[in-house]
Structure 1
């Protein structure tokens, strides 16, 4: 893993959003990538839309795969590395599932053997197509697919945590078969860390795959309770990075801040740059941070209908490619950190988290906004402490604590 932190963007095409795959225009893609590269970023995260690429269980469209490779090659020409999310899945409030998993063909996305084999073939095909590209980082299984496995999704495919783990292992294995040796990962939205009945758990996130990926969104109750400049709001991404370390078996496991953005109106347009700077700077104070990948590169064009209002303004760039204030902040920080060794001082004080069984985490809501661990972490930060987080079952493990540089542990109830 690199010693310098990576800076990138989740690539949202300026023309047509992710529907651009239906009318793929490589010149338009090149123009988008020119604007991203001009910010000084070094990578993008790319989203093939699952039903566009695999409309039938046994048909993975060769032309779509060729277009994905062409996009990756165009990125390479501009000095951009590429991570590819396979199963989309879910994007910006819209679900994209192929017809062979729905209605008359309804099958559980995570447990049906034929669906799993279809998904494995799809991910393996995408990975193999890019395996020889030097700028290919690796695969992410999909975008926040855990939302399909529990509420509040209106029609979830319910599974156990054991079934979730089996699904993750099978599909990570398919990515490895397609592109051996690449750092393949999986990524869930924060219900994995905060929701007691979510079958995708913190242990899955922090122990499976090459890195831990976290997605930080402050519209989850954080900004509503703490305000746009609240300590908890400006440190939410850093909190998730540190929280994830509590479950990691490897004390030096890399953590990728894979999604983070400034959602209006909780973060108003005039405050987006300040929020962006605070969020990124605070995350950079976390050790073993692999990279920061902002959501997203380009605004959604307002000619497209039915998006939640916040989705139209999350870009570092306008849909036409003009740099926004948040984009200027990310560009400046990327420039300041380019080639710089990332080695924050150890966090010597650790907040104890007790979620019951550490694998199933049946009481993980204590980590959510309003929960005892979450609020204690924010109070410690406000008092000038740089807290780590440690599982209750490891409090007496002196060698483990020493491996993380922890010299003191504090329980949430002791933080006032």
Structure 2
């Protein structure tokens, strides 16, 4: 079939979104969610495949800035709402949209593209690598206690409505985002995603609730959550479904978890999408009772390899030549000399020198935020050491003090 691939116009957004909804199961977004995403939409950065008057393929790209190791906020295309109609599969539509989109991102001067994959097997062939993990928890609070750090009793936890607390929560989010690679620096309007509360997101639970942690009148953390009451013959079996929890210091974070774990009639706390190194794993008395599960999170694509590698800082001095394979974005392929002093500016330039490591752009994307070790990737056969010692040097330099994490969808 012949289709027309073109940049979206504002008047085509509803039809474009309808194609996405159909591809993801055919359940329409709630009016509230539709209005929210319409306000965040950037039609000039969205692509659609059209078969006559019918939209049969979609791919969007929000204009984001993402925190990288060292704290810099690097421009990144937040790839979103990628779909192909079931009637038009296996005809090259997805590949053509990925090709056009990455060309566009390069022309916009954005060194990175990032996405959250509906299925992990889709995007590797386009040079994306899984760079973060998400931690899911289910805690039986009737059998699990908390080891609270000093100062926890000095933190006040009080209720607020999510809307009234939004400004204070966003201030906490912004402070934490600067120290966590992978975190989007939210543009105006995106704070509404944090409190969006359509009934479809509650999974049978209460409207979104919020508490704030305070010390000396200053907000030092927050938690948002739903309550899902339930009973069986033995008594209450309700669940606290945590949407988000954040604290600026250990005592504030622990105080929020103490609150969440102590709500009457709710002996289960569920948490989705927490960082892989969440300190709650060290607060609980019995991690075996917490049903811990990891899954892939943010995928990273180096669009301008030299600019991307120079934009982050490195944990140790580094001087390594990378031999990079990149069939989908051939402008990245070849040898690059990456040099850096610990914690300071880096440089990445073309070179003809002998390489120390050989790897693909997708593997480099997986390692970029410091959460996936180059040593681990080498053990999986995805990195080849061509100079003795180069792997250990690069693995240390690329590593991060904290695990990278993307705290919300887009």
Give TM-score scaled by structure 1 length: 0.26
Give TM-score scaled by structure 2 length: 0.27
Kindly indicate which of the two structures has a greater share of residues assigned to strand: 2
Kindly indicate which of the two structures has a greater share of residues assigned to helix: 1
Radius of gyration: which is bigger? 2
